[in-house]
Each structure stands twice: as C-alpha cells, then as structure tokens.
Amino acid sequence: MKFSIHLKRVCLGLASILLLGFNVTAQKPKFDLSKDLLLVQLDCKTDIDDLHTAAGLATLLKHPDYKDLNYYAVAGTYGIQEGLYVPPNELMKLAFNENWTDADKNWEASVEKIAKLVSKTIKNGGDVWVAEAGQSDFTADWVKQLSHQNPSIKIKENIHVVQHSDWNESVTEPTKLKYTQTVTDYHKIPDGNAVGNGTPGLKSKGKVNWESKIHDDHLIKVWNTAIHLGNKYNGKDGRYLNESVAKGGLDFSDLSEVCYILNLMDIENTHEFFTYFKVE
C-alpha cells in the first residue's frame, strides 16, 4: 500500500512537470507549518463554488496534520467581473469563527488587516502562501500597501501566490494582475475543475457521498450550510449557473491551490479528498 501511494506520487509529480510546463514555478512549495501563513482569498462572485471551497478548507483544518495550521480567510476578493455577489457570511462565521475578514463590506480595512498580518508573519521568519480562489485585485492592493509600509521586506522571496484559473486572471484588473505576477512569487497551476491534469480535480460530475466520511457534527453543519447556500444562489438573478452543483454535485475546485501549497497533489478527485480527510 505504501509503495503504491509512493508510486502514485512519483507519477503525478512527473505528470505535473510535463503538463505545467512554463506556467508554474518549477520548485515544489515548502510550506513550513511552524511559521508560515496560508491565506485563502475567496471572490464569491458570481459562482457559488467558493462556498464549497470554504467547507473543504474547514474539513482540511480538522485533520490532525493541519490542526495547528496558521491560516486566515478572506471573502469578497473579486475583480472586475460583472454579476451579483454570493453572500457567504453565515458560512464563513460558522467555518472559521473570527479567523476571516469581509473584503466585500470593508475592502480597505481588510487590505490593512492582511498587510499587517503578512508583515508580522514575515518579520517572525515565516513566508506567506496565497490560495487565490478568485482574482488578484485584493492581493495587489495589500502587497502594494505592505511594500510601502515595509520597504525592507523581500516580497518576491516571502510571498507566494497560487492561481489555477485562466478565467480568474481574465477578470482581474490588468494592471493589478501584472503587478501581482511581477512582484510576488506567482505560481500558475492547472485548473482544479478538471481531473487528471496533475492538480486535484475537486469538481464532481455527480453526487459525492461525503456524509459517509464526515461524522463530526460541526463539519456536517458546515457542509450542509455550504450546500444550502449554494443551492439558494446558484444561477439566481443572473449569477453563474454551476451545472455540477445543480445536478447535486460538489465544486470546491479552488481548494486545489491549497492542496498544491501543502503538497497534497496526489489527491485525484472529490471522492479521494473525503477519503483522505475522513473525520470521525
């Protein structure tokens, strides 16, 4: 069993090298659980997939390997796309308690909060890893503020941004996308909506039997809330219609970036995710 898992990791690693080409930084991420910070930035506009992504992150945080993970979540980090917002606050509070900020309601205050959090992390010897579950407008703003307030910080060395979506890049304000790609250590990985491209494919084609793997009462409530809100807003009032979710499936494809950061790229799909992060 151990050999097969090792062989699978090797094969996926080779596949990633071949498939990623020049689109991703060659070295593997080296997230240090003892001092690094994970930022998960959710645009929540207009696809409801970020609701499922938040629930997926909450599930990962319950695993013994990640119970001490230093993380912070941000909602409302959207770019220039049109359409209505998907209000996630009920879920964010349930999933992350006070460990998140609302950029939709308080953009400037959230920029200031993240810049201070990042500065503290780096000054304490850690690096910052951004799972860009949306556009890079918000990242550009807090990085720019950080650089103005702390010119001695080596942003290219200490701030790593991971993006998986061509569409997310296309609806980032162009100068902010260019800035983020230029000044940070920017990683582009294959799309987490697909299976078999070297990145975990965390969008299902049908129903996922997550209930048989998750027996923690709080996580069950988190997932039920994410699914309820997703169904409430999916395709409503001109919002993007996520067909996978409409058919009873799950879509937490943005969590593929977190998997990349934490070196969990051997997870193939949604079913394997829940097997890996089974919670009693």
Q: Give the pLDDT score at 27.
A: 55
Q: Is the pLDDT of residue 218 over 50?
A: yes
pLDDT, position 29? 82
Q: In this predicted structure, what is the pLDDT of residue 156?
A: 97
Higher pLDDT, 271 or 9: 271
- pLDDT tens digits, one per residue of 55-92: 999 999 999 999 999 999 999 999 999 999 999 999 99
CA–CA dist 33, 155 (Å, integer): 20
Fold for domain 2-276? Inosine-uridine Nucleoside N-ribohydrolase; Chain A (3.90.245)
Contact 56, 133 (CB under 8 A): no
pLDDT-above-90 percentage for the chain: 89
Residue 232 has which token pair?
């409430």
- The dihedral through the CA atoms of 109, 110, 111, 113 has a sign that is positive
Can you give the pTM of this predicted structure?
0.90
Residue 42 pLDDT > 60: yes
Q: Can you give the residue ranges of every domain in the chain?
A: 2-276
Give the pLDDT of residue 11: 46
- Integer Cα distance of 141 and 107 in angstroms: 10
**pLDDT, mean over the chain:** 92
State the Cα–Cα distance between residues 267 and 173, nearest whole angstrom. 32
